[in-house]
Structure 1
Amino acid sequence: MSDHVTIRDIAGGVRLIGLDRPEKKNALTGNMYDAMFQALEGADASDEIGAVVFAGLPGVFSAGNDLGDFVEAARTDFRQTPALRFIRRLARTKTPMVAAVDGIAVGIGTTLTLHCDLVYVSDKARFRMPFVELGLVPEAASSYLLPRRVGLLKATELLLLSEPFDAATAVGLGLANAVMPSDMLVEHAVAQAARLAALPRGAIEASRRLIRGNQAEVEAALEAEAEAFEARLRSPEAQAAFKSFLDRAPKPAT
């Protein structure tokens, strides 16, 4: 598990996965991905857990992948990284998933929600997928899922131009269910998750398969992205973008 991810099983058969790395705006590290992987895998294996909720901190869901980890991943086998291991698990999870997004949701902070069954956002939610700006390609099967959700032209705008969008736009595009006040967001997400958890498990699993459609196509897109992503990680464009970002990042006080 990770010091920056809290896992709590609460009343109603709900597992709450909380991101808790405030100093880095919940940027995800390998250890955080591993913790979330274990939480999802454990939920699928449990008779008690009927739904999972992803939540961040007040004002920040996740700033995306830690860029320092991206730099390290470029030196290793990306196919074996905790990030890709988690993304594969996310796509295959049988337990219903709910996201409670308050504040910034960048990169994987946005694409994670495409795999959730319900998504609730605060009026402070701000989404962005700056993969191309970083010399990369989309991930988490977003190149497949997003066009089917919002249409080809809008998906192109969001993925290639990295256009940010707010809570109301997310609801209008069908990427979120509703906008909630920040102080009620997680409570509402947990309540909705408990409703899912109370339903017959077999019926939920079968219905999710029908609603989601062709799982093989989702996984094929995910793997095609992973191959392209690995190549892009090592590209001069991506390395220059990472260096530029890291050079601008505030240095710790000495």
Structure 2
Amino acid sequence: MSDTNDRSSAAPPKGQYDVARIPPRSLRGRLCPDTFTLDGAVYTLEKHLKHDFFASTARYRGDHGRRVCLKHFHTESCLLIPLGWAGRYMCNREIGFYRHLADVEGVPALVGKLGESGMVHEWIEGCDLLDYAQDARMGRPERRVADDFFDRLDQLALTLHQRDVAYVDLNKPDNVLVGDDGRPYLVDFQISYRRPRRRWNLLGRWLFGVLCREDLYHVRKLKRKFRRDLMTDHELRRSYQRSFLLSFHRQFAHPFQRVRRWVLTKLGAR
């Protein structure tokens, strides 16, 4: 299979790529393979979903009809720096979260590990909140999630917290899936944080509490964006109340992100 740079020379075939999430040029790594075999089943590529500096993600259908999602973490070097260890570490770390949360409704089931840096989980039929956000821009009829969607998402976040996991990445609407059943699902535990087991790790346990509160803040923020009509005045006020940590992060992270976007745009990787 050719790499992303080769594929960027021609327009992506209609229906094969989500062009909004596949950069025209890759700075590192390859797109997911055309096929792979896991536990005796052969899976064939249906659609590339996402490609970034750390990983590629794609949807597949097995020869038995089952749909799955493959997330392949890159192991290639960058600027002569060996990063194979990082890809393997991130893969094993995320697999650990899926295994730990295997009995939680709203977290896709882990299917298995592929090679040294690939993980496969079940495919959730539906779309994500980013699709909803792009309806107007793409000229599609605007959709609404169910009235109880964000109550369920809030409960899902609380369930993760009870299992000692802070999701951390709820600010990204493309991480929140809207299943065909109308329920919320969470994918991508790449930067999630687990409560330290050792009681003497006071800083780590304090950070866990802070990140849990940020999860709930971002649920309220998403609700404000997509179902503001359902919010009470109290919820609406709280959706604007950023913590000191988040305000501090935004103060320093936003300038960096603007520079990063500018550089990636100049390099053709955005």
TM-score, normalised via structure 1 length: 0.28
